[in-house]
Structure 1
Amino acid sequence: MSGWTPTKDLEKEAKQGQHSNMSKASRRLPLPRSLAPRPAAAEQNARLARPQAAHAYATPRLAQFLREYKLVVVGGGGVGKSALTIQFIQSHFVDEDSYRKQCMIDEEVALLDVLDTAGQEEYSAMREQYMRTGEGFLLVYSITSRNSFDEISTFHQQILRVKDKDYFPVVVVANKADLEHERQVGTHEGQALAKHFGCRFIETSAKQRMNVDEAFHDLVREIRRYNKEQAAVRPGAAAASKPAQFQEEQTQSAGCCTGCVIL
């Protein structure tokens, strides 16, 4: 009892209450995009370049059997790349980097290592670094931004140049489908662009979690198909060309009620 006073208890409670309130406030008020902590570019590139590693949720015994896919989310600023990625990985919508997820795709477990390239659009050298190491790319634009749609062709051309291929696994993603009243890019335009690339097309809404999983799963399916074709090609033979099955898939998916349009 020596040394105890009601004043000391009151001071202790006041400090604890102040700390608790500050913690709650910090959780309620996310940092602005420009101030939010993000991993350094060098760290992102090193993470992408490292060999397959165990997933956080997988035991070491299980992890050694998992196939890891390095996916890259590409697109202009403000199209929703971060939101799309986090909605897929964590199943909730937030405003902002690099994520991993274990999931089942067509009865096969896959470990997805997803790089969100937000904030790197202006650095061409850095862009080429993640393009070298990525196995597949989501080419994301916003249906509310004509400029972001026009940028997709530039990203696609750069991927093919860096990979030195005529075709490489990509999926064209039209994001922010919930903002129909602000639409600047028609669905038919996205379909036509994907057909030109010879790839799949899908409209998504990260905010409403519409077709988010489907976009990433479709990319993994395309990587698997591409890898099988590459393995079947004889040494010195031509690289895989644009897949021929998309025209048939377009017809089969014309009545898709989920808003998923596949070419």
Structure 2
Amino acid sequence: MAANKPKGQNSLALHKVIMVGSGGVGKSALTLQFMYDEFVEDYEPTKADSYRKKVVLDGEEVQIDILDTAGQEDYAAIRDNYFRSGEGFLCVFSITELESFAATADFREQILRVKEDENVPFLLVGNKSDLEDKRQVSVEEAKNRADQWNVNYVETSAKTRANVDKVVFFDLMREIRARKMEDSKEKNGKKKRKSLAKRIRERCCIL
């Protein structure tokens, strides 16, 4: 008889987060700050890097899987595959770079096209809040865009760790968890309706 396996990482809820945004906005710096509590200023861009970590979310031990995607146009064609696997998205721009803010609209459009779901868990993130003197994107402008998309807007600093884990990553995980619960209820409701319809048909046949 096979021994019972100890409760390990495989039995924990897993929430899949995708980092998107233009190159150089600090996606990797945010990810590494969250994962290892360290600020990495110079980071070589790659196609994608994947990270996994156990965290306690509202008293429950869960796993977060973070896919840090490259923002360069060269990798645009392969993003669709990454987006399909994602359950929630952190769309990052730099508050010091107007072009990166404009690009968030393209990333949002690509995500919605791939996921075919306007309510996919999504946070708009303005990074580099520690560089206030170089700000090019106002808080009001960013909040207006978030309101148009019906999502939340948060400003972060990978350098000072402001809003990095407890706000950004944890809030997105809560959205993902809520969405999974909603989908599960809907699925169970459909099963019950299907089962009821089957019983009614069987009863009619007997009569």
TM-score by length of 2: 0.81
Distance 1:227 1:61 in 2: 22
From 162, 168, 186, the counterpart of 2:114: 162
Whether 1:215 aligns to 2:168 is yes
Distance 1:160 1:114 in 2: 19
From 151, 155, 165, the counterpart of 2:103: 151
Residue identity (%): 49
Distance 1:129 1:67 in 2: 22
Distance apart, 1:60 and its partner CA = 5.7
Distance apart, 1:231 and its partner CA = 2.2
From 52, 63, 84, the counterpart of 2:30: 84
Cα 1:64/1:203, change in 2 over 3 Å: same
From 154, 157, 175, the counterpart of 1:205: 157
Cα 1:65/1:147, change in 2 over 3 Å: same
**Alignment match, 1:66:** 12
Cα 1:121/1:136, change in 2 over 3 Å: farther
Whether 1:98 aligns to 2:50 is yes
Give the 4+ runs in structure 1 shifted more than 4 A: none
Give aligned pairs, total: 178
Which structure is higher in helix share?
Answer: 2
SS of the equivalent of 1:102 reads: strand
RMSD, matched Cα: 1.8
Q: Could you tell me which amino acid in structure 1 is paired with residue 97 of structure 2?
A: S
Which structure is higher in strand share?
Answer: 2
Distance 1:170 1:109 in 2: 22
Q: Looking at CA atoms only, which structure, 1 or 2, has the larger radius of gyration?
A: 1
Query: Structure 2 unaligned runs (5+)?
Result: 44-48, 191-207
Query: Structure 1 unaligned runs (5+)?
Result: 1-58, 236-263
Asked if 1 retains the 8 angstrom alpha-carbon contact of 2:20 and 2:71, the reply is no
Distance 2:32 2:120 in 1: 24
Asked if 2 retains the 8 angstrom alpha-carbon contact of 1:82 and 1:118, the reply is no
Distance apart, 1:106 and its partner CA = 1.0
SS of the equivalent of 1:70 reads: strand
SS of the equivalent of 2:24 reads: coil
**Alignment match, 1:183:** 135
